[in-house]
Amino acid sequence: MNISYNWLKQYLNFDHSPDEISEILTYLGMEIKGVTKFGEELEQIVVAQIIEKKQHPRADKLSVCQVDDGTEIKQVICGAPNCAVNQKIAFAPIGTSIGEFKIKKVNLRGEESFGMICSEKELGISENHDGIMVLDEKAPLGESLSSFLNDRFDTCFEAEITPNRPDLLGIIGIARDVAAYLKINLNIPEITYSTGKVKIEDFLKLENNEPELCSRYTARIIQNVQVKDSPEWLQRRLISVGLRPINNIVDITNFVMMEFGHPLHAFDYEKIEGKKIIIRRASGNEKFPALDENIYELQENDLVIADASKPIAIAGVIGGENSHITKKTKTVVIEAANFLYSSIRKTANKFKIQTDSSHRFERDLADETAEIVSRRTAQLILEIAGGTLLEGKLDSYPNPESERIVSIRPSRARKLLTIDLSKETIQKHLENLGLKQVDEEDDLLQFKIPSFRKDLTREIDLIEEIIRMHGYNNLETFLKPQKIMDKYSFYMKREVQDFLVNCGFSEVVNWSFSDPNYLDLMKIKEDDERRNVVKIKNPLGSSFSIMRSMLLPGILKNALFNINHGKHDLKLFELSKTFIKSEGKLANERFFVTGLMTGNLSPVYWKEPVKKVDFYDIKGIVEDILEILGLSGVEFSNSKESYYQPGLAAEVSYKNSIIADFGKLDPKIAQNFEIEQPVFA
């Protein structure tokens, strides 16, 4: 569900920033998956004026314009047919980024251009690409377009709505929750209109043959409408929530769907044969041409909206090309209905059609909302497209929903939530959400549940609503925060890993179990601390009988495996724990990073000579890691490790402690691991 910040403000009077509203929506149980800000790019665009226009000497369809941006006159080449002298225009100077495109100085057939005169589509304002965007003549020269078009700025929140809350699939549903949380008024638009004297029954009949699958169906007719492009405000509303404007009639149905969360459809009255709407199951092998330009073969279980001879919509899923609104449409039939959610889900899944309509109907909408959205659509069509609304409506509502009453015990709510809430506070929280109190006893409150909240059926549901309105973030914390990790060490290790990967190293992950013979192969002295190993009581075998006390043997085995498979140029590293036996029950665990380089330093390239890895390459890596760790004042000296080649190894000391060593592995040690090429570690 896409939620427009500006659209939300149409129903609520608040001063909260988009970031604050995003946080509030999260507190209310809506996961915000993404935030899109419209109009940010307009900061780079300036209001400018065309002061001169000449025909391009070598291109019939291009004009050479002199543009005043408030600071200097610039030459701009323009191909739009509507550019003219003295027009105020949206000008993108050199260096401006529009999407992935960056404006540069260009030469177009011998004439230089120092910027671009933009269209509305290029700026993401609308789909209009017929020509450049012409601004009001009062637009201040040199001002950023964002300041001049301040109302174009918007923020869209992409929210994940749980399936039990279909009321939140409309902006008004979102606004109702936000209003209850902020304790402010919800301003729902008043629906008023006038009708003609001709009755709808004289023009259209309604027949509902499947009341179990179609719980309600309403129809209204408006004559003499003018189908054209929607006004700018309506187009902006739809674009802000990711919908494409089509024409004013279709756009109004989409607008009302996004407003109330209940889908509608509009039919061209002249295309309805027999002047009858029939809700029925499809006949065997009926073919239906849908609005997505596919033809679907219907089966007997598929619910359709039909006229006297053919299906004109797959109920609740998609409309048909044989009845849709076109520029020639003069009389519109407004359909607002509700269908059995399981039937819609099966049909949509079978045909692999996912629409905004099916997405909502699959979540069990309220029958009462169908009448509200029908009236709201009629109101907007009369205001925007004109016409005359026929008197009355067709309404099949065979089984009206019964009133639902749910009780709550304030004492039970206080016990479960562990917060002291007064009865009055509980009443206020629930009434702000649209519930109406109908009775009260000593420790019992009874509320009438609004039709759009089908998820509220038990006392515990009301208690959950109370804590949502109180705010999970406002609950008192009884436990002291626990330090469960060393964040500094965690991010430092990650930084070292990222650095090594960026240097071309591959990270390896080896077992913590090891072979004690590796220490002999490495010629580790008997009195060395690393000989004080932790032995495993029930090892899988002698090769896994101890916990490793150093990482290098494992990486040497990784290198041997790769060399045996033809990979001789290697850069490997591992950052993990080693284990040294201690006097206590548990071993001392310390993190080490160990790396290995062998073969060519970089891939062979025909323009450059091949360079083998040497001592200074591994030394550079160690120095960079020390810099990442923020260690200064370190000292380098000859290494005393037995597995390095004498004279080609060094150790690093910091505050009288040896913290690292590096160098060329002794060829005899390498041969112990069956490696015949030089190795630096």
Q: How many CB atoms lie within 10 A of CB 180?
A: 21
Q: Say how far apart CA 236 and CA 242 lie, in whole Å.
A: 10
Cα dihedral sign, 472-476-482-483: positive
Report whether pLDDT(324) > 90: yes
Q: Phi and psi for 612 in degrees, rounded to 5? A: -85, 150
Distances (CA, A) of 81 to 46, 77, 133, 469, 474: 21, 12, 11, 56, 59
In the prediction, which pLDDT does 426 show? 95
Q: Are residues 341 and 357 in the same domain?
A: yes
pTM score of the predicted model? 0.66
All residues at 6 or more sequence positions from 25 whose CB lies less than 8 Å from its CB, including other chains = 3, 32, 157, 159, 174, 178
Q: Say how far apart CA 157 and CA 23 lie, in whole Å.
A: 11
Q: What is the CATH number of the domain that holds 410?
A: 3.30.56.10
All residues at 6 or more sequence positions from 22 whose CB lies less than 8 Å from its CB, including other chains = 32, 35, 157
Q: Decide: 63 and 78 in contact? Cβ < 8 Å.
A: yes
Look at residue 195 and tell me if it is in a domain: no
Task: Grade residue 152 by pLDDT with cuts at 50, 70 and 90.
Answer: low
Q: Which of 44, 43, 37 is nearest to 6 (CA)?
A: 37
DSSP-derived letter for residue 244 is -
Q: For residue 492, what is the enclosing H or E element?
A: helix 487-502
In the prediction, which pLDDT does 378 show? 97
Q: Give SS3 for 277.
A: strand
Look at residue 167 and tell me if it is in a domain: yes
Helix and strand numbers, DSSP H then E, in the chain:
17, 38
The one-letter amino acid at 537? K
Distances (CA, A) of 302 to 124, 211, 264, 305: 40, 14, 19, 10
Q: Say how far apart CA 58 and CA 441 lie, in whole Å.
A: 89
Q: Are residues 502 and 608 in the same domain?
A: yes
Of 130, 152, 174, the last residue of a domain is 152
Q: How many domains does the chain have?
A: 5
Instruction: Name the packing angle between helices 171-182 and 459-470 (round to 10°).
Output: 70
- The chain-wide mean pLDDT, for the chain, equals 92
Q: Say how far apart CA 665 and CA 618 lie, in whole Å.
A: 12
Task: Grade residue 122 by pLDDT with cuts at 50, 70 and 90.
Answer: confident
All residues at 6 or more sequence positions from 101 whose CB lies less than 8 Å from its CB, including other chains = none
Q: Decide: 409 and 417 in contact? Cβ < 8 Å.
A: no
Rounded percentage of the chain residues whose pLDDT exceeds 70: 98
> Token pair of 198, please?
């001709």
The one-letter amino acid at 635? E
Q: Are residues 516 and 629 in the same domain?
A: yes
Report whether pLDDT(358) > 80: yes
Q: Which of 257, 314, 259 is nearest to 291 (CA)?
A: 314
Q: What is the CATH number of the domain that holds 382?
A: 3.50.40.10
> Token pair of 632, please?
């200064």
Look at residue 171 and tell me if it is in a domain: yes
Report whether pLDDT(123) > 90: no
Q: Say how far apart CA 120 and CA 134 lie, in whole Å.
A: 9
Distance from the Cα of residue 607 to its chain's centroid = 45
Average pLDDT over residues 260-280: 95
In the prediction, which pLDDT does 547 show? 93
Q: What is the CATH number of the domain that holds 98?
A: 2.40.50.140
Q: What is the CATH number of the domain that holds 607?
A: 3.30.930.10
In the prediction, which pLDDT does 24 show? 94
655: alpha, beta or left, given left = phi > 0 and alpha = psi -120 to 50? left
Look at residue 583 and tell me if it is in a domain: yes
Residues 530-551 pLDDT 10s? 999 999 989 888 889 999 999 9
Report whether pLDDT(485) > 80: no
In the prediction, which pLDDT does 333 show? 97
β-strand partners of 661: 651
Q: Are residues 162 and 144 in the same domain?
A: no
Q: Say how far apart CA 639 and CA 652 lie, in whole Å.
A: 8
Q: Are residues 134 and 256 in the same domain?
A: no
Q: Say how far apart CA 375 and CA 373 lie, in whole Å.
A: 5
In the prediction, which pLDDT does 481 show? 67
Of 367, 396, 425, the last residue of a domain is 396
Q: How many CB atoms lie within 10 A of CB 615?
A: 16
Maximum pairwise Cα distance, the chain: 107
Q: Say how far apart CA 87 and CA 67 lie, in whole Å.
A: 10
Q: Which of 525, 530, 580, 526 is nearest to 552 (CA)?
A: 530
Q: Say how far apart CA 591 and CA 293 lie, in whole Å.
A: 61
β-strand partners of 163: none
Q: Give SS3 for 665.
A: strand
Distances (CA, A) of 677 to 378, 517, 521, 550, 570: 83, 22, 17, 22, 11
Q: Are residues 27 and 138 in the same domain?
A: no
Look at residue 633 and tell me if it is in a domain: yes
Average pLDDT over residues 18-35: 92
Distance from the Cα of residue 355 to its chain's centroid = 18
Look at residue 315 and tell me if it is in a domain: yes
Distances (CA, A) of 53 to 49, 120, 192, 286: 11, 21, 50, 60
Give Rg (Cα) of the chain. 36
Q: Are residues 658 and 509 in the same domain?
A: yes
In the prediction, which pLDDT does 150 show? 67
In the prediction, which pLDDT does 36 show? 84
Distance from the Cα of residue 280 to its chain's centroid = 38
Q: Decide: 49 and 184 in contact? Cβ < 8 Å.
A: no
Q: Which domain holds residue 240?
A: 200-396
Look at residue 526 and tell me if it is in a domain: yes
Q: Give SS3 for 65.
A: strand
Of 449, 474, 499, the last residue of a domain is 474
Look at residue 660 and tell me if it is in a domain: yes
> Token pair of 307, please?
């006229």
For strand 205-208 and strand 276-281, is the pairing parallel, antiparallel, or unpaired?
Answer: parallel
Q: Are residues 441 and 353 in the same domain?
A: no
Task: Grade residue 256 by pLDDT with cuts at 50, 70 and 90.
Answer: very high
Angle at 512 between CA 675 and CA 650, to 5 degrees: 50
Average pLDDT over residues 234-244: 88
Residues 566-581 pLDDT 10s? 999 999 999 999 999 9
Task: Give me the half-sphere count of Cα atoms (radius 13 Å) on the Cβ side of residue 229.
Answer: 9
For strand 134-135 and strand 88-93, is the pairing parallel, antiparallel, or unpaired?
Answer: antiparallel
Minimum mean pLDDT range among 159-168, 461-470, 577-586:
577-586
Rounded percentage of the chain residues whose pLDDT exceeds 90: 78
DSSP-derived letter for residue 152 is G
Q: Are residues 493 and 520 in the same domain?
A: yes
Report whether pLDDT(477) > 80: no
Q: Say how far apart CA 659 and CA 657 lie, in whole Å.
A: 6
Q: Say how far apart CA 422 and CA 408 lie, in whole Å.
A: 13
β-strand partners of 612: 600
Q: Which of 312, 314, 313, 311 is nearest to 350 (CA)?
A: 314
Q: Are residues 93 and 176 in the same domain?
A: no
Task: Grade residue 519 by pLDDT with cuts at 50, 70 and 90.
Answer: very high
Residues 34-92 pLDDT 10s? 988 877 677 888 999 999 999 999 998 899 999 999 999 999 999 998 999 999 999 99
Q: Say how far apart CA 430 and CA 442 lie, in whole Å.
A: 18
In the prediction, which pLDDT does 318 show? 95
Q: Which of 599, 619, 622, 620 is nearest to 611 (CA)?
A: 599
Report whether pLDDT(647) > 70: yes
Residue count of the chain:
681
Q: Are residues 128 and 46 in the same domain?
A: yes
Q: Say how far apart CA 81 and CA 283 lie, in whole Å.
A: 53
Q: Are residues 224 and 250 in the same domain?
A: yes
In the prediction, which pLDDT does 38 show? 75
